[in-house]
Structure 1
Amino acid sequence: MSSPSSSQSGAPSAWSVVQPFVLGGASGMVATAVIQPVDMVKVRIQLAGEGVAAAASRPSPFSIASSIVRAHGVASLYTGLSAGLLRQATYTTARMGLFNTFMERIQRDGTKASMLQRAMAGLAAGGLGAFVGNPCDLALIRMQADGLLPAAQRSNYSSVVDAITRIARDEGVLSLWKGCGPTIVRAMALNLGMLSTYSEAKSRLEPVLGKNSTTTAFGASAIAGFFASAFSLPFDFLKTRLQKQKPDPTTGRMLYSGTVDCAIKVFKKEGPRAFYK
């Protein structure tokens, strides 16, 4: 007699274990391929006016995008795409997979997870995923910021592998985790913002738009996304500034010694609104 299948015995199949990781990573990679130009513009905006007084004029997203296209062509909006895809293959794969794994462990005895348990699972998964994906995130920022440097100082990375290899060789392996602190906090804030507002927004919209309707789900997701961005954007800004910096060619010193130093210098020089670039 043949042995019972994994489904009959109650043991999870290999696919059921890896499915959340695979689908999470794949969905993140598709999203990155679509929004890469927007991310490119966002990073350039965050780096624009570094160290310049708050009163100075700020470029708009449209002026940034048009200047990139004029200087380097439409394809340049996709600079760093390989790093963005690999980041999703690591960060989103880990985040989505770990969240589902944590939830299965919490609910394995048949009890429903509480809001606090879901929040803690989301925060832990987001933080761990961000740590795993930080080298790719760093490579993405370096590739997108490279065009801002004088031609003689550009690294001209050919791919994410080239960027990671050269950064590790020139600055040390641990440098691949530059900006890891705000990256982790950003991921946790993003997840917390989504978790803390989606259910509330959905319950407020259901009497108006209908229970379990597509419109309600879309509206609640949009509201949750707005608050998630509001919570996480300051940390995303600090992450970008820290990951972009390189040692000064003359002194060998960094502009920012860490997250707190970066936040203080930006606040003093560029004002509080800079954190929401």
Structure 2
Amino acid sequence: MPSVTYGTSRIAFYEEMKQTAKSSNQPLTTPILGTMAAVSGFLGAIFGTPSDIANVRMQNDRSLPPQQRRNYQNVLDAWVQMKRNEGWRSFRQGLWPNCFRSGIMTASQLASYDSFKRLLTQLSGKSDDNPLTHFSASLLASLVATSISSPMDVIRTQLMSSSSNASVYQAVRDLIRSEGHRWLFRGWTPSFVRLAPQTIATLVLLEQHKRIYRALKVEEA
């Protein structure tokens, strides 16, 4: 569910902004791509946060004592219980950290992918890119995105898994108190293992989809 709401909306926003810039003959430099991707990720997270909260809570449920477990059956059941037990405020728990995290992650993922793809195409000396270029660029983008978004991931998980309305400052203070500065890259490896295949599959398939779409448009013309 988070992938459907957040993932698709941020990519749609980003591609639409790129097309608008191209039609206006605006150069797509790395800073401009980064800004577009950050805005896209921020907007996408607004739509995806309720699903993200349910997902985080269901993943963390097994780590809680039996008497504290929420025992959500699925995302819809999670939303019903959240509304019943905590009110509508629970649907925006960790919203702003999640939006900023998504903006940073999307900028480091999508913008770095386009930048790496351009660089690899130039280094190869070929006039067009290919699936190997797409794979290599998306793998490099995964490394960048995981490293940059890791601290925000930890904060987001800390806030969303809690039933209290703690602030970002309180969450960071508690993390530093309990773990020192090691919390900054807690879970980097599993995050990369999760994000890399997802990024590679999404972006490689997106490139093939765009290639087929362009071919169909040429045939229609």
TM over 0.5: yes
Structure 2: where are the runs of 5+ without partners?
Answer: 187-221
Aligned partners of 1:266 and 1:274 also within 8 Å: yes
Aligned-pair CA distance for 1:206: 5.0
| CA 124–241 in structure 1, closer or farther in 2 if over 3 Å, else same | same
Question: In the alignment, which residue of structure 2 is the partner of 1:178?
Answer: 93
Question: In the alignment, which residue of structure 2 is the partner of 1:261?
Answer: 170
Q: Output the CA distance in 2 between the equivalents of 1:117 and 1:204.
A: 16
Aligned-pair CA distance for 1:145: 1.1
| CA 113–92 in structure 1, closer or farther in 2 if over 3 Å, else same | farther
- One-letter code aligned to 2:149: S
2:102 paired with 1:187: yes
| CA 265–205 in structure 1, closer or farther in 2 if over 3 Å, else same | same
Aligned-pair CA distance for 1:162: 0.7
2:52 paired with 1:137: yes
Aligned partners of 1:186 and 1:235 also within 8 Å: yes
Aligned-pair CA distance for 1:120: 2.1
| CA 233–132 in structure 1, closer or farther in 2 if over 3 Å, else same | same
**Of the candidates 217, 228, 234, which is equivalent to residue 134 of structure 2?**
217
Aligned-pair CA distance for 1:121: 1.9
Once the two structures are superposed, the pairs formed by residues 109-120 of structure 1 within 5 Å of their partners are 109=24, 111-115=25-29, 116-120=31-35
Aligned-pair CA distance for 1:200: 4.9
Once the two structures are superposed, the pairs formed by residues 43-62 of structure 1 within 5 Å of their partners are none
Q: Output the CA distance in 2 between the equivalents of 1:98 and 1:171.
A: 32
Structure 1: where are the runs of 5+ without partners?
Answer: 1-85, 248-253
TM-score (norm 2): 0.73
Q: Output the CA distance in 2 between the equivalents of 1:215 and 1:93.
A: 23
- One-letter code aligned to 2:77: D
| CA 89–217 in structure 1, closer or farther in 2 if over 3 Å, else same | closer
Aligned partners of 1:209 and 1:215 also within 8 Å: no
Bigger fraction of residues in helix: 2
How many residue pairs get aligned? The number is 183
Q: Output the CA distance in 1 between the equivalents of 2:20 and 2:117.
A: 27
The root-mean-square deviation of aligned C-alpha atoms, in Å, is 2.3
2:6 paired with 1:91: yes
| CA 215–100 in structure 1, closer or farther in 2 if over 3 Å, else same | closer
Q: Output the CA distance in 1 between the equivalents of 2:118 and 2:17.
A: 26
Identity of aligned residues (%): 28
Aligned-pair CA distance for 1:203: 5.6
Aligned-pair CA distance for 1:163: 0.3
